[in-house]
Amino acid sequence: MKRTTLTALLMASSILGTAGIAIAQGKTLTIESWRNDDLAIWQEKLIPAFEAKNPGIKVTFAPSAPTEYNAALNAKLDAGSAGDLITCRPFDASLELFNKGQLADLTDLPGMENFSDVAKSAWTTDDGKATFCVPMASVIHGFIYNQDAFDQLGIKPPATEAEFFEMLEKIKADGNYIPMAMGTKDLWEAATMGYQNIGPNYWHGEEGRLALIKGEQKLTDPQWVEPFATLAKWKPYLGDGFEAQSYPDSQNLFTLGRAAIYPAGSWEISVFNTQADFKMGAFPPPVKQAGDTCYISDHNDIGIGLNAKSANADAAKTFLSWAASPEFATIYANALPGFFSLSSAPVKMEDPLAQEFVSWRETCKPTIRSTYQILSRGTPNLENETWVASANVINGTETPEAAAKKLQEGLDSWYKPAK
Partner 1 sequence: MAVDIPHRRRTRWHIAVFLAPAVLVYTAVMILPLFGTLQLSLFTADDQSRVFAGLDNFRRLFFDPRWSATFWNALWNNTWFFIIHMLVQNPIGIALAAILSSPRLRFSAAYRTVIFVPTILSFVIVGFAFKLILSPLWGVAPNLLDLVGLKSLFTPWLGKEEYALTTLGLISVWQFVGIPMMLIYAALLSIPDEVVEAAECDGITGMAQFWKIKLPLILPSIGIISILTFVGNFNAFDLIYAAQGALAGPNYSTDILGTFLYRTFFGFQLQTGDPYMGSTIASMMFFIILAGVCVYLFVVQTRLRRYQF
Partner 2 sequence: MSRATISLPRTVAAHAVLLTYTVIALFPVVVIIINSFKSRNAIFRTPLTPPTAETFDLIGYATVLNQGDFLLYFQNSFIVTVASLFFVLLFGAMAAFALAEYRFRGNTLMGLYLALGIMIPIRLGTVAILQLMVASGLVNTLTALILVYTAQGLPLAIFILSEFMKQVSDDLKNAGRIDGFSEYRIFFRLVLPLVRPAMATVAVFTMIPIWNDLWFPLILAPSEATKTITLGAQLFIGQYVTNWNAVLAALSLAILPVLVLYLIFSRQLIRGITSGAVK
Work out whether 25 is an interface residue with partner 2 (CB under 8 A).
no
Work out whether 311 is an interface residue with partner 2 (CB under 8 A).
no
Contact 256, 195 (CB under 8 A): no
> Residue from 26, 44, 53, 81 that binds partner 2 (CB under 8 A)?
81
Q: Which stretch binds partner 2 (CB under 8 A): 74-82, 148-156, 163-171, 388-396?
A: 74-82
In the complex with partner 1, which residue's Cβ is closer, 52 or 79?
A: 79
> Residue from 55, 56, 80, 175 that binds partner 2 (CB under 8 A)?
80
- Dihedral angle sign, alpha carbons of residues 370, 373, 375, 380: positive
Q: Residue 333: how many CB atoms within 10 A of its CB?
A: 24
Q: How many CA atoms, within 13 angstroms, populate the side-chain half-sphere of residue 247?
A: 13
Q: Residue 262: how many CB atoms within 10 A of its CB?
A: 25
Strand, coil or helix: 300: strand
In the complex with partner 2, which residue's Cβ is closer, 23 or 162?
A: 23
Q: 3-state secondary structure string, 69-134?
A: HHHHHHHHHHHCCCCCEEEECCCHHHHHHHHCCCECCCCCCCCHHHECHHHHHHHECCCCCCECEE
Scanning residues 106 to 125, which ones bind partner 2 (CB under 8 A)? Answer: none
Q: Which does 16 bind (CB under 5 to 8 A by kind): partner 2, partner 1, none?
A: partner 2
Work out whether 345 is an interface residue with partner 2 (CB under 8 A).
no
Cα-to-chain-centroid distance, residue 263: 14
Q: Report how far residue 66's alpha carbon sits from residue 260's, in angstroms, rounded to the nearest whole number.
A: 28
Contact 374, 92 (CB under 8 A): yes
Q: Report how far residue 408's alpha carbon sits from residue 402's, in angstroms, rounded to the nearest whole number.
A: 10
> Residue from 76, 172, 235, 288 that binds partner 2 (CB under 8 A)?
76
> Residue from 12, 20, 362, 418 that binds partner 2 (CB under 8 A)?
20
Q: Which does 22 bind (CB under 5 to 8 A by kind): partner 2, partner 1, none?
A: partner 2
Q: How far is the CB of 252 from partner 2 (least distance, A)?
A: 6
In the complex with partner 1, which residue's Cβ is closer, 47 or 308?
A: 308
Work out whether 229 is an interface residue with partner 2 (CB under 8 A).
no
Sites of contact with partner 1 (CB under 8 A): 2, 5-6, 9-10, 12-13, 15, 67, 70-71, 74-75, 89, 91-93, 96, 99-100, 183-188, 239-246, 249, 252-253, 371-372, 376-377, 379-381, 383-384, 387-388, 391-392, 395, 397-398, 410, 413
